[in-house]
């Protein structure tokens, strides 16, 4: 496995370099923004650090054509076979009888046998080569694009089978194909229109963007939809988190309470009974920490939320996403919010997350700005973004 980091000005540049250097089978592991240059942070330029991996270097090497077997090779092989046969005969002969020093000329049957073996070898080699090339070139490009987008392997197989059966091969550069692919991907992307009334609890790993996303949704409810909304936070691990939320709440003129104990939470909820929506923030939980997860379960049992939004980062690896989903299942989330779309160029999680959680995506966030950087998830729109990603740089 070969892992390589690229620092580039734009992600497309990295994709091109990765394709050139690591080949079509390379997969992007991570993309993050970094600042370089400048003086004490001033004038620093934004770059992307893209980490790519390719499983097996040999995969990218050209498949060598079977080397033709020359007549000399055949005679050499025949000679070896004859020597072997003679030495075996010598061992089995009674002692005292010396074998003939002359090597007998190769019999016709040995030559025929060798030719047969030669044919078999080249047939096997051609099977390997055609096996590799079996995938029509257009579809192979699409498959590589889906891998770059880190779409779940089972879905890649389904899409590939569908394309092969329906089209034989495809032209990945054709505009109509992009529409067709997007259309086909729609059912794999489960989304739901957000109904934001009642008690809504935000859960998820640390730093994923729960507090920021809650503030964005609070602003939408209060300023755009003119709804009555209140905030309750349990994020008492980080002093800054509650302060940050208090600042947002005071700017938007939204009441906010901080609960340190279950009794305080109960009192706060009673005081907020007249509000149409109560958005509740929790401290980030590490899915690996069972105590933290247990505490979260206590909060859930206590506040009895109407909805639980599991917040997941688009920049997480699929393996981590699966583990987070598995661990947070204990609090029965009802919806998913995907954050930090702006920090990645792979959008496979639009499919992977509903597939592994069986939950619909309701929002996607794409930046740090409150309240602008959020949009409602819509499977048709998300499928277009994903299809664009799959067919980028073809
Ligand atoms: P929490 O620990 O889950 O509550 O996460 P926070 O809301 O405190 O966010 C952690 C960091 O992620 C902050 O610096 C946010 O500004 C940032 N953040 C949140 N959402 C996004 C997003 O959509 N894109 C980017 N680039 N950053 C985000």
Domain boundaries, the chain: 2-54, 110-190, 198-377
Separation of 315 CA from ligand 1 center, angstroms? 12
Per-residue model confidence as pLDDT tens digits over 222-237: 999 999 999 999 876 6
Separation of 207 CA from ligand 1 center, angstroms? 6
Q: Mean per-residue pLDDT for 31-50?
A: 70
Separation of 133 CA from ligand 1 center, angstroms? 44
Per-residue model confidence as pLDDT tens digits over 358-391: 999 999 999 999 999 999 999 999 999 999 999 9
HEC readout, the chain: CEEEEEEECCHHHHHHHHHHHHCCCCEEEEEEEEEECCECCECCEEEEEEEEEECCHHHHCCCCCCCCCCHHHHHHHHHHHHHHHHHHHHHHCCCCCCCCCCCCCCCHHHHHHHHHHHHHHHHHHHHHHHHHHCCCHHHHHHHHHHHHCCCCHHHHHHHHHHHHHHHCCCCCCCHHHHHHHHHHHHHHCCECCCCCCEEEEEECCCCCCHHHHHHHHHHHHHHHCCCCEEEEECCCCCHHHHHHHHHHHHHHCCCEEECCCHHHHHHHHHHCCCCCEEEEECCCCCCCCHHHHHHHHHHHHHHCCCEEEEEEECCCCHHHHHHHHHHHHHHCCCEEEEECHHHCCCCCHHHHHHHHHCCCEEEEECCCCCCCCEEECCHHHHHHHHHHHHCCCC
pLDDT score of 39: 57
Write the residue with the smallest CA distance to atom 14 of ligand 1: 368
As for ligand 1, residues whose beta carbon falls within 6 Å of it are 204, 206-212, 241, 284, 339-340, 342-343, 365-368, 373
CATH class assigned to 198-377: alpha beta
Closest-lying ligand 1 atom to the alpha carbon of residue 241: 8
Closest-lying ligand 1 atom to the alpha carbon of residue 281: 4
Closest-lying ligand 1 atom to the alpha carbon of residue 235: 4
pTM of the model: 0.68
Separation of 211 CA from ligand 1 center, angstroms? 7
pLDDT band at 129 (very low <50, low <70, confident <90, very high): very low
């Amino acid at each position: 496995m070969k892992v390589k980091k690229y620092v580039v000005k734009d992600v497309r540049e990295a994709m091109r370099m990765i394709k050139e250097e690591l080949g079509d089978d390379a997969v992007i592991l991570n993309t993050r923004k970094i600042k370089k240059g400048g003086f004490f942070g001033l004038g620093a330029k934004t770059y992307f650090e893209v980490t790519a991996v390719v499983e097996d270097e040999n995969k990218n090497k050209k498949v060598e054509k079977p080397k033709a077997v020359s007549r000399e090779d055949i005679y050499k092989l025949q000679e070896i076979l004859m020597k072997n046969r003679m030495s075996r005969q010598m061992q089995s002969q009674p002692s005292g009888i010396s074998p003939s020093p002359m090597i007998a000329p190769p019999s016709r049957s040995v030559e025929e046998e060798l030719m047969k073996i030669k044919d078999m070898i080249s047939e096997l080699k051609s099977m390997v080569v055609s096996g590799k090339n079996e995938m029509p070139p257009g579809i192979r490009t699409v498959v590589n694009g889906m891998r770059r987008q880190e779409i779940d392997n089972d879905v890649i197989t389904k899409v590939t089978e569908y394309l092969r059966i329906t089209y034989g091969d495809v032209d990945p550069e054709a505009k109509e194909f992009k529409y067709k692919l997007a259309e086909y991907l729609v059912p794999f992307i489960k989304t739901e229109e957000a109904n934001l009334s009642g008690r809504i609890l935000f859960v998820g790993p640390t730093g994923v963007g729960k507090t920021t996303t809650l503030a964005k949704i609070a602003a939408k409810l209060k300023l755009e939809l003119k709804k009555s909304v209140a905030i309750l936070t349990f994020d008492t691990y980080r002093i800054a988190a509650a302060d940050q939320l208090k600042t947002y709440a005071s700017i938007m003129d939204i009441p906010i309470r901080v609960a340190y104990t279950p009794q305080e939470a109960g009192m706060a909820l009673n005081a907020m009974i007249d509000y149409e929506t109560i958005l509740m923030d929790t401290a980030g939980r590490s899915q690996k920490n069972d105590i933290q997860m247990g505490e979260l379960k206590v909060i859930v049992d206590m506040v009895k939320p109407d909805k639980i939004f599991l917040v997941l980062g688009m920049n997480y690896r699929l393996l981590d996403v699966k583990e987070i989903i598995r661990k947070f299942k204990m609090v029965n989330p009802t919806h998913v919010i995907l954050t930090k779309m702006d920090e990645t160029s792979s959008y496979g999680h639009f499919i992977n997350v509903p597939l592994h959680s069986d939950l619909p995506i309701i929002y996607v966030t794409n930046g740090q700005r409150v309240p602008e950087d959020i949009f409602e998830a819509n499977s048709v729109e998300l499928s277009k973004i994903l299809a664009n990603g799959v067919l980028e740089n073809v």
